[in-house]
Amino acid sequence: MTSTATSLKGQPLDKAVLDAILRRRLFYTPSFEIYGGVGGLYDYGPPGCSLQANIVDLWRKHFILEEDMLEIDCTVLTPHNVLKTSGHVDKFADWMCKDPKTGDILRADHFVEAILEARLNGDKEARGQQVEDKDDPKKKKKKAKAEAVKLDDALVIEYEEVLARIDNYDGPQLGELIKKYGLKNPATGMMPSDPVAFNLMFQTSIGPSSNLPGYLRPETAQGQFLNFAKLLDFNQGQMPFASASIGKSYRNEISPRAGLLRVREFLMAEIEHFVDPQGGKKHFRFHEVEHIELVLLDRDTQLAGKTTTRKIAVGRAVKEGLVDNETLGYFLARIHLFLERVGVDLSKMRFRQHMQNEMAHYACDCWDAELFTTSGWVECVGCADRSAYDLSVHAKKTGAPLVVRERREEPLVFDEWQVDLEMKKFGPMFKKDAKAVETALLATSQEQRERLATQLGEAGKVTLEVPGVENGKVDIGKDSIKIEFRKRIENTREFTPNVIEPSFGIGRILYALIEHNFWTRGIDTGDEARSVLSFPPAVAPTKVLLVPLSSSAEFKPIIKKLSQRLRNLGVSNRVDDSSASIGKRYSRNDELGTPLGITVDFQTVQDGTITLRDRDSTSQVRADEGRILEAIKSIVDGNKDWKKIASELPKFEGQEIEVAAR
């Protein structure tokens, strides 16, 4: 695995060039740019918006429809209480420090990481070694400031170990690292203040009287947990089942990066799969995926300060205990298949296991699907086993029964002392204290009950300690109480399900997908360099480009009819009838990732045939409208690829091809 990002064709990937294209072609653009912009907020233009919609559409088919998940749409606005219970109010924070001179705010872990990396690079330079280039312009700037100073060999190892574990330090630990290594802000030469926690949720207040504090949700999960009982009921009580939500979430990042990788408002797609914790969390469809090979970077390897991955079938990974259970393994495989389907380069994908102190305390295992980009390895999907934590805390706080009750096949039988009360007499006897006395009675142990039964038989009454009632002791006569040793049969089992949570950052996947499908045509042949985005047809923003050979009026009705027919087939298309050359019009749509192009020329007017061009090979075929539309539909639906179409339809090599392929 190279540590330097490359294009789809293995060419070095220049992030600055790609960024310029993405902005120019309006894939995305900084929000509110005419007002100076706001860090971490981006708008998607038409191609980005369509790419996003297509990824979400595939996600819905791959997960929700394929597995009959229950999709729900919960509100972003969330009252304080809910996020207090979930732990977000107290713990959903990053550590930030202030530069004492400028008041600039720095995210503590990023700060430590940047300075140590700069020092390591300075050391390499001093030793005459090549400095690795992660192609991140922001980091490059900081690196440039590193002086070529040779470090002790032991310190190099220490720095490298710190960097391998950078996600594991809390605020005080980061503060110690800053002091220990004397880390100063390059901008001011000052050591920053001790890290303090900064809660990442956007706060607001709900209602006119400002008395209900709330937040914008940081994840869609909580809404799904709160609806658990209703969803179980909707599912006719059947377990296991999964809910799913697609929607915006919000994190008030301290230092949002340029680009889509760390933003303050983002689209998430999350699944909460509810499973019985008993029986090893098996999954009934696991056999369908157990042969799928995953690239894993496990916990132990990372603890050793290494990043060596291992390719292993998910069936074996579960058997070996590397992945905690079948259900978790099932979803890792399904995530792998989804990312492959949308067009991720599998050689740039790995699953990294969270280390113990990186996970939430309640999680029992967690793996991130990471994609390699010019910013290094980026977490794009998280897949955690959250155990029963969320349902338990909300149930405890609200008293709502977020549990599953199921009939036991083999009822449990207990032989035990049981207390029966004659409420008609018992109630009037104790009046307002009746409830307290009853509670005290029901709280008695088996041993106590046995003693009470003896007492009742002998004295015709029992004497029970009930603090706060009468003089702390009450007498209950045998006409209102019965204590017997008999069988109790428990037919129902009650449990809190565990939750496996695959959680997708759609914007990050979208960005990685762009990098993985980007390449430059013409570099090898010495022709003019032209950018291409080779998206799979299913996710490409527009499927077909329609170009009339010239502005001749006779082409207009043909183009219009073709466009309408494609639309009726559900195939998105755009017409480019500008005066640019055919080649130029094709290449500016290669840059948008449009997989297919139709040319209408003078021959079309005569015999009704049209040409179809493939974006990736630039080769063309020619046939009548019916056959071409059929070919398009089969490519867009994923039933045929271009090679197949090219073998079925007559090849075309007219003048346009030469222009297009130049």
Instruction: Give CA–CA dist 213/220, Å, rounded.
Output: 19
Binding-site member from 15, 139, 283, 394 for a copy of itself (CB under 8 A):
394
Q: Which helix (H) or strand (E) holds 50?
A: helix 46-59
| 660 in Cβ contact with 619 (< 8 Å) | no
Residues 397-416 that bind a copy of itself (CB under 8 A): 398, 400, 402
Tell me how far, at minimum, the Cβ of 637 lies from a copy of itself, in Å: 10
Q: Which is nearer to a copy of itself, 226 or 547 (CB)?
A: 226
Amino acid, res. 404? V
Backbone angles phi, psi at 226, to 5 degrees: -65, -25
Amino acid, res. 548? P
The 3-class SS string of 460-512 reads CEEEEECCCCCCCEEEEECCCEEEEEEEEEEEEEEECCEEEEEEEEHHHHHHH
Alpha-helical (H) ranges within 389-470 are: 389-398, 423-430, 434-442, 446-459
Instruction: Give CA–CA dist 99/186, Å, rounded.
Output: 10
Binding-site member from 128, 207, 321, 472 for a copy of itself (CB under 8 A):
207
Residues 425-484 that bind a copy of itself (CB under 8 A): none
Q: Which is nearer to a copy of itself, 2 or 578 (CB)?
A: 578
Q: Which is nearer to a copy of itself, 251 or 348 (CB)?
A: 251
DSSP code at position 112: H
Q: Which is nearer to a copy of itself, 6 or 587 (CB)?
A: 587
Binding-site member from 7, 22, 42, 587 for a copy of itself (CB under 8 A):
42
Distance between first and last Cα of the chain: 33
Residues 16-35 that bind a copy of itself (CB under 8 A): 25-26, 29, 31-35
Tell me how far, at minimum, the Cβ of 196 lies from a copy of itself, in Å: 10
Tokens, residue 603: 């021959």
Torsion of CA 137, 138, 141, 142, to 10 degrees: -140
Q: Does 567 bind a copy of itself (CB under 8 A)?
A: yes
The window from 69-77, 126-134, 270-278, 349-357 that contacts a copy of itself (CB under 8 A) reads 69-77
Alpha-helical (H) ranges within 519-641 are: 556-568, 582-590, 602-607, 625-636
Binding-site member from 16, 128, 153, 209 for a copy of itself (CB under 8 A):
209
Three-state DSSP state, 168: helix
Q: Does 312 bind a copy of itself (CB under 8 A)?
A: no
Of 190, 179, 193, 183, nearest to 117 (Cα)? 183
Binding-site member from 13, 70, 610, 621 for a copy of itself (CB under 8 A):
70
Residues 254-283 that bind a copy of itself (CB under 8 A): 254, 264-265
Instruction: Give CA–CA dist 612/237, Å, rounded.
Output: 52
Alpha-helical (H) ranges within 294-371 are: 299-303, 314-319, 326-342
Q: Does 248 bind a copy of itself (CB under 8 A)?
A: yes
Q: Does 68 bind a copy of itself (CB under 8 A)?
A: yes
Determine how many CB atoms are found less than 10 A away from the CB of residue 241.
Answer: 20
Q: Which is nearer to a copy of itself, 71 or 293 (CB)?
A: 71
Could you tell me how many residues of this chain bind a copy of itself (CB under 8 A)?
A: 74
Letters for 570-609 (x = contact with a copy of itself by CB under 8 A, - = none) are --x-x---x-------------------------------
Binding-site member from 2, 102, 129, 203 for a copy of itself (CB under 8 A):
203
Pairing of strands 544-548, 596-600: parallel
Sign of CA dihedral 97, 262, 6, 367: positive
Tell me how far, at minimum, the Cβ of 244 lies from a copy of itself, in Å: 9
Beta strands in 99-234 (DSSP E): 105-107, 196-199, 203-206, 212-216
Binding-site member from 20, 66, 145, 361 for a copy of itself (CB under 8 A):
66
Determine how many CB atoms are found less than 10 A away from the CB of residue 451.
Answer: 14
Tell me how far, at minimum, the Cβ of 225 lies from a copy of itself, in Å: 10
Tell me how far, at minimum, the Cβ of 341 lies from a copy of itself, in Å: 15
Q: Which is nearer to a copy of itself, 78 or 353 (CB)?
A: 78
Determine how many CB atoms are found less than 10 A away from the CB of residue 544.
Answer: 28
Of 30, 5, 50, nearest to 572 (Cα)? 50
Q: Which is nearer to a copy of itself, 135 or 272 (CB)?
A: 272
Instruction: Give CA–CA dist 515/360, Å, rounded.
Output: 31
Pairing of strands 376-387, 365-373: antiparallel
Q: Which is nearer to a copy of itself, 65 or 413 (CB)?
A: 65
Of 516, 142, 378, nearest to 131 (Cα)? 142
Binding-site member from 38, 292, 359, 659 for a copy of itself (CB under 8 A):
38
Q: Which is nearer to a copy of itself, 94 or 614 (CB)?
A: 94
Letters for 221-240 (x = contact with a copy of itself by CB under 8 A, - = none) are --x--xx-xxx-xx-x----
Binding-site member from 11, 14, 45, 133 for a copy of itself (CB under 8 A):
45
Instruction: Give CA–CA dist 317/319, Å, rounded.
Output: 5
The window from 293-301, 396-404, 425-433, 456-464 that contacts a copy of itself (CB under 8 A) reads 396-404
Determine how many CB atoms are found less than 10 A away from the CB of residue 230.
Answer: 11
Q: Which helix (H) or strand (E) holds 121?
A: helix 108-126
Tell me how far, at minimum, the Cβ of 49 lies from a copy of itself, in Å: 5
The residue count of the chain comes to 662
Binding-site member from 5, 55, 74, 547 for a copy of itself (CB under 8 A):
74
Q: Does 180 bind a copy of itself (CB under 8 A)?
A: no
Tokens, residue 131: 């400095």
Q: Does 198 bind a copy of itself (CB under 8 A)?
A: yes
Instruction: Give CA–CA dist 59/246, Å, rounded.
Output: 10
The window from 166-174, 318-326, 511-519, 566-574 that contacts a copy of itself (CB under 8 A) reads 566-574
Three-state DSSP state, 639: coil
Binding-site member from 6, 54, 252, 611 for a copy of itself (CB under 8 A):
252
Tell me how far, at minimum, the Cβ of 272 lies from a copy of itself, in Å: 14
The window from 63-71, 293-301, 378-386, 469-477 that contacts a copy of itself (CB under 8 A) reads 63-71
DSSP code at position 235: T
Q: Does 551 bind a copy of itself (CB under 8 A)?
A: no
Binding-site member from 6, 7, 54, 78 for a copy of itself (CB under 8 A):
78
Q: Which is nearer to a copy of itself, 319 or 560 (CB)?
A: 560
Q: Which is nearer to a copy of itself, 27 or 518 (CB)?
A: 27
Tell me how far, at minimum, the Cβ of 297 lies from a copy of itself, in Å: 31
Q: Does 105 bind a copy of itself (CB under 8 A)?
A: yes
